[in-house]
Structure 1
Amino acid sequence: MFRYTRFEKARIIGARALQIALGAPVLVDVPEGSTPLQAAIIEFEKGIIPITVIRPS
């Protein structure tokens, strides 16, 4: 998996959690009663968040 900085990781997880909170489908099976943040963290750890990072060169 690509290595992200802590700032990129926070931005990716936060953006995905917001998407989930606003009704986007969760791409993994999460335990009952999980928060959008927990679901986003699980997705990030499995490497399936549909968000890309473009770094300036």
Structure 2
Amino acid sequence: MSDQESRETYGSDDKTFEEHQEEILLEEADVDGRIKEPEQEAEKRYTSPIMTKFERAKILGIRAQQISMSAPIMVEYGDETDPVEIAKKELKEKKTPLIVLRRLPDNTYEKWAVKDLINFYD
């Protein structure tokens, strides 16, 4: 699909379909594995602090892929070699170095650190 066709299909702006979807970003980690806190104040947030099952699936998939490509692991993993299980352990211990970017109806975004989200799916 050409760029012109994608603009006609998804709207006249310069964004592609993928840019309109909910995004999960990897933020720069410190040497200690700590991530920068989202700059947004907690009282200014509009969305719920509950992680959706879709966010959980995407977080685990992205993080497992990073681990399989030799990214630093943030938890003690012992004899575990499966990247998905290591990613689940990181998520359970709230040490996943990712930021969820939620798009709001007014085309602004909210940043949520994964450690700040409540996960009911463990």
What TM-score does the superposition give when structure 2 sets the normalisation length?
A: 0.44
Q: Is the strand fraction higher in 1 or 2? A: 2
User: Could you list the runs of 5+ residues in structure 2 that have no partner in the other structure?
Assistant: 1-48, 105-122
Question: What is the count of residue pairs matched by the alignment?
Answer: 56
Secondary structure in structure 2 of the residue aligned to 1:53 = strand
Superposed CA RMSD in Å reads 1.1
Structure in which a larger fraction of residues adopt helix: 1
Q: How many angstroms does 1:54 deviate by?
A: 1.1
Give the % identical residues.
Answer: 34
Query: How big is the shift at 1:23?
Result: 0.6
Instruction: Give how far 1:7 is off.
Output: 0.3
Question: Which residue number in structure 2 is paired with residue 38 of structure 1?
Answer: 85
Task: After TM superposition, give the deviation of residue 6 of structure 1 in Å.
Answer: 0.2
Q: 3-state DSSP class of the match of 1:15? A: helix
Q: Letter of the aligned partner of 1:53 in structure 2? A: V
Structure 1 unaligned runs (5+)? none
Please give the TM-score of this superposition, normalised by the length of structure 1.
Answer: 0.89
| Corresponding letter in the other structure for 1:31 | G
- 2:63: which partner in 1? 16
Shift of 1:25: 1.3
Q: Max radius of gyration: which structure?
A: 2
Q: What amino acid is aligned across from residue 8 of structure 1 in structure 2? A: E
CA distance change for structure 1 residues 44 and 18 in 2, over 3 Å: closer, same or farther? same
One-letter identity of the residue aligned with 1:51: L
Q: Is the 8 A contact 2:65 2:83 kept in 1?
A: yes
Q: Give the secondary-structure state (helix, strand or coil) at the position aligned to 1:54.
A: strand
Cα displacement string for residues 3-43 of structure 1 (whole angstroms, at most 9, x for unaligned residues): 21000000001100000000101110013043111000000
